[in-house]
Amino acid sequence: MLDVAEIRAVAAIIETGSIKKAADVLNTTQPTLSKMVLRLEDRLSTTLFHRSRRGMTPTPAGTYVARSANGIVTELSKIERQISAMAEQGPVSIRLGVGPIVEHLFLPEVLAHHLTEFPRTRIDVRTEAADILQQLVLSGEIDLAAGPFDEAEVDPRLEAYPIAEEPILYVARPDHPLFEENKEWSLAEVTSLPLATPHSPTSINKQMTPTSQPADNLADTGIRCENYGTLMTLARNLDLIVPGPLSLFDDALQDGSLKAIPTSFTLMWKCACLIRPETLYADPLRRLVDRFADIAKR
């Protein structure tokens, strides 16, 4: 049976093109690595590399082993991380993915409370669109995602925990020309204007009427960005429209820097945490899901 060291050795040799360079990468010696490869070839009864003065090039069998390496090593890493988190021995490392609205609305308070409860925790955060976040959770590249997920759209291999649901507003600066027209704007009309918006999740696009543009489309001018602080700053200074859940704009609506656009339609923003089922056995991750739900209800 192959072991991880052998898989890594084959992959390193292919990547570097020589045993000497691969030995340096793997922090071992050239003779040790050579013997490992020879023993592996003998056990498999096949040749993994063509050897020449120019270096080593993989045979089809060697290429197959290397291509399989990333997935196998990733799965073993997931198991190791999961057992470590379940044991709760030593510092805990969490890889968290969030959508742009969650980053702006909930993330700072969630992290502050979580680090108070689990001070020996390292949390790496990345902000991505919803479809990317779901794939990252499935692949094990992140442990938990909080974003605009609808339970009906979630991969069955994942657990979804709803944390918030709010109506979506479209806002603009008070002197935007559209406010000169005393009317309610339709979805098709609003989405045809220049927008400042993140990538729209599937849960929003499915609510759009067939006659309107998908929420992710932009007019001839506009901004697509995953940072809501940037989007709202742009909307305060340019004739751009920003969509988002009601609570996202509370401060801006109160201080008058942004104004809600009267509309004849209603869209809903849904937010949930996505996690692999086995991950919930780790108390720090389970508590992080609970923390998102607690903060969102306030």
CATH classification of the domain holding 45: 1.10.10.10
Give yes or no: residues 188 and 219 share one domain: yes
| 138-174 exposure pattern, b = at least 16 Cβ within 10 A, e = fewer | eebebbbbbbbbbeebbeeebbbbebbebebbbbbbe
pLDDT value of residue 42: 86
Ramachandran quadrant class, 26 (left: phi over 0; alpha: psi -120 to 50; beta: rest): alpha
Decide: helix, strand or coil at residue 28. Answer: coil
Question: Range of 137's domain?
Answer: 87-163+271-296
Positions of the chain with pLDDT lower than 50, given as ranges = 90, 211
pLDDT tens digits for range 182-214: 899 999 899 889 999 988 777 777 776 554 555
pLDDT value of residue 76: 58
- Please, are residues 96 and 89 in contact by the beta-carbon 8 Å criterion? no
pLDDT value of residue 102: 94
Domain count, the chain: 3
- Please, are residues 275 and 161 in contact by the beta-carbon 8 Å criterion? yes
Give yes or no: residues 126 and 256 share one domain: no
Decide: helix, strand or coil at residue 82. Answer: helix
Backbone angles phi, psi at 51, to 5 degrees: -105, 135
